[in-house]
Structure 1
Amino acid sequence: MVSAGEFFLAVDDASAARVGPRKRHDFPAVPCDGFYPDDAVLSWETLLTGRPASPLRDVVPMANDGFTVFAVPEPLCRALAGAERDQLRTTGIAWAASASEPDNEISPDRAVDLLERLSALANSRAEKGLSLYCWYFAP
């Protein structure tokens, strides 16, 4: 199970690669734990766009230590930034219902809250000219 992680904004891949557990940073971020964000991102993109999800691009590939950093695909960034509250709610509820593995469960309320916060982060990303990334640690 994911014990720690966050979606965050960074200037570039090199900056994103320096983020992780117990590493302080000043990037705008939304914490995530208790589910696998890489799986979630794929589901969200499909649910929000109605198209197959884009492949994820690793910034720090996962090794035996359980740590990874990946770039959130641009189609999902645009979809999150442009989504209305009802669409985020519908997506969050659908995702929570589908995330039913024992180590990958999330309540509908938490799913909707997370997507609303990520939508705000995606909007600020565009305004600031930054990219959206995610790191997580799953020992």
Structure 2
Amino acid sequence: MVLVGEFFLAGDDESAVRVGPRKSHDFPAVPCDGIYPDEAVSRWEALFTGAESPLRHVVPMANDGFTVFAVPQPLCMALTSAGTDQLRTTAMKWAEIVSEPDDEMSPDSAVGLLEGLSALASSRTERRLSMYCWYFAP
């Protein structure tokens, strides 16, 4: 189980590699504790666009269980342009796919996460920043 994770905006890869567990920063961010964000990003992109982009790792996963990756542009665009109904529908489908008997993703949590990511993706364009994600899965 992932202990901690966060989607965030940064100006470049060099800035993005400086984030992680117990490292404070002032980047706009949305926490994503309790999920595997790399798997979620692929699923979300497939649900929104029907395709999946390869992830570009800024900090590749190593034995320590930590990674940072850039969120694919097609997903960022889909999150930016999605309306409330589309976000809700996608979140509900995703929650249903990832929920297991002992590890359930609530529909409300899924909707809240995608709404937060949609707002973050929308603000990245205005600020000329890119979206990244870090997570720690020991």
Report whether the alignment pairs 1:60 with 2:54: no
| Structure 2 length-normalised TM | 0.97
Map residues 42-81 of structure 1 onto 2, 5 A cutoff.
42-49=42-49, 51-81=50-80
Offset of residue 102 of structure 1: 6.5
| Structure 1 length-normalised TM | 0.96
Give the secondary-structure state (helix, strand or coil) at the position aligned to 2:88: helix
- Show the counterpart of 2:121: 122
Q: What's the RMSD between the two structures over aligned residues? A: 1.2
**Does structure 2 retain, via aligned residues, the 8 Å contact 1:35–1:105?**
no
- Show the counterpart of 2:24: 24
CA shift in 2, pair 1:6/1:14, >3 Å: same
Offset of residue 25 of structure 1: 0.3
Q: In structure 1, what is the Cα distance between the partners aligned to 2:61 and 2:12?
A: 19
Give the counterpart letter for 1:60 in structure 2.
Answer: V
Give the counterpart letter for 2:115 in structure 1.
Answer: E
Q: Which moved more, 1:95-104 or 1:1-10?
A: 95-104
| Structure 2 residue runs without a partner (length 5+) | none
Give the counterpart letter for 2:23 in structure 1.
Answer: K
Flag as ranges the 4+ runs of structure 1 deviating above 4 A.
Answer: 101-104
- 1:97-131 Cα distance to aligned partner (Å, 9 max, x none): 00034686411110000000000000000110000
Offset of residue 52 of structure 1: 1.7
Report whether the alignment pairs 1:135 with 2:107: no
Give the secondary-structure state (helix, strand or coil) at the position aligned to 2:30: strand
Give the secondary-structure state (helix, strand or coil) at the position aligned to 2:5: strand
Identity of matched residues, %? 72
Q: In structure 2, what is the Cα distance between the partners aligned to 1:102 and 1:59?
A: 33
Offset of residue 92 of structure 1: 0.2
**Does structure 2 retain, via aligned residues, the 8 Å contact 1:6–1:134?**
yes
Q: Which moved more, 1:119-128 or 1:103-112?
A: 103-112
- Show the counterpart of 2:40: 40
Q: In structure 1, what is the Cα distance between the partners aligned to 2:118 and 2:99?
A: 23
